[in-house]
Structure 1
């Protein structure tokens, strides 16, 4: 099928200005995956030093995710009122200071508080980034840009655990947080110099800053609600993976930090390939087929995870994860853009609510399920199969209407 000439101007990253915007947005969205992935190999060591249960170690990730999503309820309206740039700069400062607090923590409770604060910082940079993408590229093209953005940040799961292993082995687990603080300092200078405001002049910014009606106007839109829920459930799969993997692979299966990071790197490479393939597929065949493909792959991954659960080898856990990472990339790439598409005048608020679903929602679901003490394979399979209703709905006329929203011509 040949791509019509009428859509050629929307081909991603064809202008130098497009590349600069995406490069700066990559810097802003790196804060979140870096805060999660760099210290994963050190989790067992942290749990051992503080002498706490492994679930508390996993909470350092789920608490971060929860506050990252919750904070966007404030960051979104602030971004709509005061602009994307000041919100991004403030978030970087909060992130860096909380990383320094985590570095100096002497008790698990203090580390958890630091991680909670760090999530608020990361949420501000994330809201600014995705709102700027929506500002700069419009309703349809923003979906493909988000997929490219996700592809770029997928390098972090490949590289961060390797760096984290090196830092942990040579300087201790705390050095991971000192690295985060240094990254924040460098990024602060880079963003302050190069990031120009993108907020449209028609952005809604009157009335109370936190207005229930403002959020309700977004939540009542079925296009947003459907796609944001899919993003939340897909993110839950990845969160369940990153919190379960260190305990299962290092503690139970006895992998070394290097072996652990090798598996992580392979998975990240597959994720990168999927993130960059998804927008090309969307341009050629549309977002609906891309979403159907991603959901189907996640459901298949759940079946593989259950089938392999009795095999006590790393590959039996990671092969289904490989499938789920591909499915996740295609679901997020197609669903996130669709969730934000109807809200050109409220992009900050819509991005905030999407982040609440994606981060806090996933954090609550996974954190709760981990308390049920399910085996890792069963927990992950359950998370993957929670997307089955979404797949079935998308095949109906109602689901097709929700997916089309007001953006299809």
Structure 2
């Protein structure tokens, strides 16, 4: 179920990247923000009118802070959550710095960069399907290790290609698609393992995972913007370091039995 939820997240990034390029060419970049505001307002009105069921949690504490602090102290939760967040950071870093690289030295147009959203979305979709098809046979830990390995391999090839000074854009964005494929394997499993490893039941672990990932995305996005350069190697190096951090978390995470 988490793999299907993650599909909507990153596939939306790819489709949005393409639609954004079309809107920019047709109506100009300010139109993107007007349309985002209008669509967000419409979504808010829809959510305000929909009644969601309220699930009562047994023995729910009066304050959530002790529960969150207790969850954070458990390696079985924290390390899988960090693994997913570091892999997510690779996507955030690329989205932050890649436009400057591809539209600079590689002379891509806005539409060409927008079209890149389709192979990115396809890579993530295929990875999510692989989770559904193989996780029961390979086990969660094994499939997550393979996913992190793909993220590391894709990032390392990006780094090697950028250090070699190649002018072939394919050697930059295709390895990134491999990294996206790996992250699509890693992310839903990391959420599942973190939730299973939580000592507190209910929605606390999932909420905390989301908060951790968004906080990491903000920090990594800020770093990527500070090191943004027309050269590809700073971004590639950052992605490789994030992937190495994710692999370290996988190696340190306690083994868990999977059904």
Q: TM-score range by the shorter chain?
A: 0.7 to 0.9
SS for the counterpart of 1:298 is helix
Structure 1: unaligned runs, 5 residues or longer: 1-144
Size of the alignment, in residue pairs? 256
> Using a 3 Å threshold, how does the CA distance of structure 1 residues 155 and 311 change in structure 2: closer, same or farther?
same
Mapped partners of 1:152, 1:300: distance in 2: 25
1:211-230 map, 5 Å: 211=65, 213-230=66-83
1:120-145: per-residue Cα shift (whole Å, max 9, x none)?
xxxxxxxxxxxxxxxxxxxxxxxxx1
1:326-337 map, 5 Å: 326-337=181-192
> Using a 3 Å threshold, how does the CA distance of structure 1 residues 391 and 345 change in structure 2: closer, same or farther?
closer
> Using a 3 Å threshold, how does the CA distance of structure 1 residues 387 and 255 change in structure 2: closer, same or farther?
closer
Mapped partners of 2:144, 2:258: distance in 1: 15
1:242 pairs, out of 69, 79, 95, with 95
SS for the counterpart of 2:107 is coil
Q: Which residue of 2 aligns with 1:295?
A: 148
How many angstroms does 1:328 deviate by? 0.9
TM-score (norm: length of structure 1): 0.57
> Using a 3 Å threshold, how does the CA distance of structure 1 residues 264 and 214 change in structure 2: closer, same or farther?
same
Mapped partners of 1:297, 1:330: distance in 2: 9
> Using a 3 Å threshold, how does the CA distance of structure 1 residues 203 and 333 change in structure 2: closer, same or farther?
farther
Mapped partners of 1:389, 1:246: distance in 2: 25
TM-score (norm: length of structure 2): 0.86
How many angstroms does 1:281 deviate by? 1.5
How many angstroms does 1:307 deviate by? 2.0
Mapped partners of 1:342, 1:244: distance in 2: 34
1:70-85 map, 5 Å: none
Mapped partners of 1:179, 1:403: distance in 2: 46
Q: Does 1:271 align with 2:124?
A: yes
1:156-171 map, 5 Å: 156-171=12-27
Q: Does the 8 A contact of 1:165 with 1:258 survive in 2?
A: yes
Mapped partners of 1:160, 1:372: distance in 2: 25
Mapped partners of 1:383, 1:158: distance in 2: 19
How many angstroms does 1:315 deviate by? 1.0
The RMSD of aligned alpha carbons is: 2.6
Mapped partners of 2:124, 2:24: distance in 1: 25
Mapped partners of 1:166, 1:368: distance in 2: 28
2:238 pairs, out of 382, 394, 407, with 382
Q: Does the 8 A contact of 1:296 with 1:327 survive in 2?
A: yes
1:107-165: per-residue Cα shift (whole Å, max 9, x none)?
xxxxxxxxxxxxxxxxxxxxxxxxxxxxxxxxxxxxxx111111133331232122212
Q: Which residue of 2 aligns with 1:196?
A: 52
How many angstroms does 1:308 deviate by? 1.1
User: Which has the bigger relative contact order, CA under 8 A and spacing at least 6?
Assistant: 2
SS for the counterpart of 1:201 is coil
SS for the counterpart of 2:29 is coil
1:18-40: per-residue Cα shift (whole Å, max 9, x none)?
xxxxxxxxxxxxxxxxxxxxxxx
1:15-65: per-residue Cα shift (whole Å, max 9, x none)?
xxxxxxxxxxxxxxxxxxxxxxxxxxxxxxxxxxxxxxxxxxxxxxxxxxx
How many angstroms does 1:350 deviate by? 2.2
